[in-house]
């Protein structure tokens, strides 16, 4: 049964034109597997991986080629079978750089079976399941890329009571979660059961925004026989899919400042993550492919594509027939929170949920003018901050004051910049403040450690 949460929702937020009609009715197509893939050794939050292969080595499809160096990390796997050509530093779609393994595809797709388990879900223990999730390199696929096995092992003193699967997909243009829910609901339900078993939880919700009625219907049909899982229909409002907002909408509980959802007994995972877990447990398939929405005004044929990780953006866009006019802005992820790209020679990674190409007209930015103190940014901020004040302090390099105004609680959703009638770069300045505050905190901690070691 579907429960509607139409009236009850978080406060603030915006409703940008979602432009999902470009791809929402298009089935997921398989993107052409490229001649060469580039697999970065860091596709997640946390420590980078160590390469397990050398130049000239033969690798199989799904073979582990990067070993994590810490607990908060996730292994990376080859997305083709072939020969390691080189290991070099490459640009990443998130704007950073990392070492990457470049593999020449032999086109045979010889699979690696090391992860395959003969057992059924009922026979697998909690530890075995957690180990499969870790070995499969699964990370949060809503875009945050936090290693899922870390998320699924909360500290002993925190009891998780409730799991929410996030199918809100509130970012405009993106339809990859939407299509997955329509085409593979059984995978999502299976993944959900794995998560519930690992965390020993008996209550789960699948939350979907009400601009996807077909997805709500398919998922509701799929959970007909599951008494523990319920589908929720949420009000369409950006950022409904942000973790803290989603939890508030579903449960009415607020994540404390600086805290985690586990502090209030809730765990949120993306539907894509659940499907990836299902494939890992059922088929022994590690995370080596990703559904990517290619959309925006400049692309010739907008599509939802199943892409092997490490395929370059150029190859993915070629698979959609290229562009109709030279795009002025190319974004990895959604238009609200994604990252602009300066080259097409970046690989699709575990965080790439969409590739958007915008024409010059669409990408044009207005010149910022002075703040008129209309406080629209205050009314849309889903975290109830004062974006105008934090931004002003940040622009004066007064980061201590920005910290006092809770700059670190900002979830970087971009509602403030979107709504600002003076086109002020609110979010960018808050991001600068966050970076400087983190830097200062690190320095303080180091200084404290140094003085303590002297005292000893």
Among 52, 87, 340, 411, binds other proteins (CB under 8 A): 340
Using CB under 8 A, pick the residue from 397, 398, 438, 444 that binds other proteins: 397
User: Counting contacts by CB under 8 A, is residue 425 touching other proteins?
Assistant: yes
User: Taking the complex as a whole, how short is the minimal distance between the CB of residue 332 and other proteins, in angstroms?
Assistant: 11
Q: How far is the CB of 386 from other proteins (least distance, A)?
A: 19
Q: Please report, for residues 73, 95, 101, 185, the alpha-carbon distance to residue 90 in angstroms, rounded to integers and kept in the order given.
A: 19, 10, 9, 36
Using CB under 8 A as the binding rule, whether residue 371 contacts other proteins is answered as: no
How far apart CA 85 and CA 280 sit, in angstroms, is 27
* Shortest Å, Cβ 201 to other proteins: 38
432 is a site residue for other proteins (CB under 8 A): yes
Shorter beta-carbon distance to other proteins: residue 72 or 340: 340
Show the site string, 66-95: x = touches other proteins by CB under 8 A, - = not: -------------------------x---x
Contacting residue, 157, 365, 370, 453, with other proteins by CB under 8 A = 365
Nearer to other proteins, 4 or 97 (CB): 97
CB of 93 to other proteins, least distance (A): 10
Can the peptide bond before residue 239 be classed as cis, meaning omega within 30 degrees of 0? Answer: yes
Binding to other proteins (CB under 8 A): which residues in 109-168? none
- Bridge partners (DSSP) listed for residue 323: 299
For the CB of residue 391, give the shortest distance to other proteins in the complex, in Å: 10
Tokens of 40: 């970065």
Site of tokens 């966050």 = 434
Residue 436 touches other proteins, criterion: CB under 8 A: yes
Indicate whether 438 belongs to the interface with other proteins (CB under 8 A): no
Q: How far does Cα 88 stand from its chain's mean position? A: 25
- From 210-218, 228-236, 296-304, 337-345, span contacting other proteins (CB under 8 A): 337-345
**Least distance to other proteins, CB of residue 239, Å:** 21
Output the CA angle 90-91-94, nearest 5 degrees: 140
3-state secondary structure of 131: helix
Q: What is the DSSP string of 219-287?
A: HHHHTTT-SSEEEEEE---BTTTSHHHHHHHHH---PPTT--GGGGTEEEEEHHHHHHHHHHHHH---S
| Binds other proteins (CB under 8 A): choice among 6, 58, 126, 435 | 435
Long-range contacts of 225-230 (CB under 8 A, 24+ apart): 226/189, 228/196, 228/202, 228/203, 228/204, 229/189, 229/192, 229/204, 229/205, 230/1, 230/2, 230/3, 230/204, 230/205, 230/206
| Smallest gap from residue 252 Cβ to other proteins (A) | 35
Cα gap 250→9, rounded to integer Å: 8
Among 79, 148, 269, 429, binds other proteins (CB under 8 A): 429
Residue 395 makes contact with other proteins by CB under 8 A: yes
User: SS3 for 139?
Assistant: strand
Say whether residue 99 binds other proteins (CB under 8 A). Answer: no
Query: Smallest gap, in angstroms, from Cβ of residue 97 to other proteins?
Result: 8
Long-range contacts of 123-127 (CB under 8 A, 24+ apart): 124/281, 126/197, 126/198, 126/200
Among 343, 369, 398, 438, binds other proteins (CB under 8 A): 343
Q: What is the DSSP string of 58-73?
A: EE-BT-EEEEESSSS-
Contact call for residue 370 and other proteins (CB under 8 A) = no
By CB under 8 A, tell whether 431 contacts other proteins. yes
| Count of C-beta atoms within a 10 Å radius of residue 261 | 22
CB hemisphere CA count around 164 (13 angstroms): 28
For residue 381 the two structure tokens come to 């901020």
Contact between 289 and other proteins by CB under 8 A: the answer reads no
Q: Is residue 371 classed as helix, strand or coil in its secondary structure? A: coil
* Nearest approach, Cβ of residue 91 and other proteins (Å): 7
User: How far apart are CB 428 and other proteins at their closest, in Å?
Assistant: 5
- Residue 339 near other proteins by CB under 8 A: yes
- Asked if residue 342 binds other proteins (CB under 8 A), the reply is yes
| Residue ranges that bind other proteins, judged by CB under 8 A | 91, 95-97, 339-340, 342-343, 365, 395, 397, 425, 428-429, 431-432, 435-436
């Amino acid at each position: 049964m579907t429960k509607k949460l139409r009236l009850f929702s978080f406060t603030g937020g915006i409703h940008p034109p979602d432009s999902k009609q470009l791809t929402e009715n298009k089935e997921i197509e398989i993107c052409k597997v490229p001649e060469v893939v580039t697999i970065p050794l860091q596709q997640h939050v946390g420590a980078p991986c160590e390469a397990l292969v050398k130049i000239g080595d033969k690798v199989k499809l799904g073979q582990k080629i990067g070993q994590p160096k810490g607990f908060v990390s996730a292994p990376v796997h080859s997305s083709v079978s072939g020969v390691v050509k080189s290991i070099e530093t490459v640009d990443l779609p998130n704007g950073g750089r990392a070492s990457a393994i470049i593999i020449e595809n032999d086109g045979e797709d010889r699979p690696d079976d090391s992860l395959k388990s003969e057992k059924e879900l009922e026979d697998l223990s909690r530890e075995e399941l957690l180990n499969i999730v870790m070995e499969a390199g699964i990370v949060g696929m809503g875009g945050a890329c936090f290693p899922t096995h870390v998320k699924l092992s909360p500290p002993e003193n925190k009891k998780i009571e409730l799991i929410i699967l996030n199918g809100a997909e509130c970012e405009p243009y993106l339809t990859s979660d939407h299509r997955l829910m329509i085409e593979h609901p059984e995978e999502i339900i299976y993944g959900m059961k794995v998560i519930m078993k690992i965390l020993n939880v008996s209550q789960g919700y699948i939350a979907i925004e009400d601009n996807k009625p077909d997805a709500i219907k398919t998922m509701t049909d799929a959970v007909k026989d599951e008494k523990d899982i319920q589908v929720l229909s949420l009000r369409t409002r950006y950022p409904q899919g942000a973790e803290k907002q989603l939890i508030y909408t579903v449960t009415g509980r607020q994540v404390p400042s600086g805290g985690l959802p586990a502090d209030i007994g809730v765990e949120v995972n993306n539907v894509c993550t659940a499907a990836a877990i299902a494939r890992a447990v059922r088929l022994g398939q590690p995370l080596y492919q990703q559904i990517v929405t290619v959309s925006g005004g400049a692309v010739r044929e907008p599509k939802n594509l199943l892409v092997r990780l490490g395929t370059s953006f150029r190859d993915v866009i070629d698979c959609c027939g290229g562009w109709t006019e030279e795009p002025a802005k190319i974004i990895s992820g959604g238009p609200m929170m994604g990252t602009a790209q300066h080259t097409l020679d970046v690989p699709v990674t575990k965080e790439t949920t969409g590739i958007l190409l915008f024409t010059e007209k669409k990408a044009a930015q207005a010149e910022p003018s002075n703040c008129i103190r209309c406080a629209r940014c205050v009314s849309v901020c889903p975290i109830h901050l004062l974006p105008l004040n934090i931004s002003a302090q940040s622009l004066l390099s007064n980061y201590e004051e920005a910290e006092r105004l809770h700059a670190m609680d900002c979830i970087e959703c971009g509602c403030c910049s979107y709504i600002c009638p003076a086109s002020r770069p609110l979010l960018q300045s808050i991001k600068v403040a966050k970076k400087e505050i983190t830097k200062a905190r690190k320095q303080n901690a180091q200084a404290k450690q140094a003085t303590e070691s002297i005292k000893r």
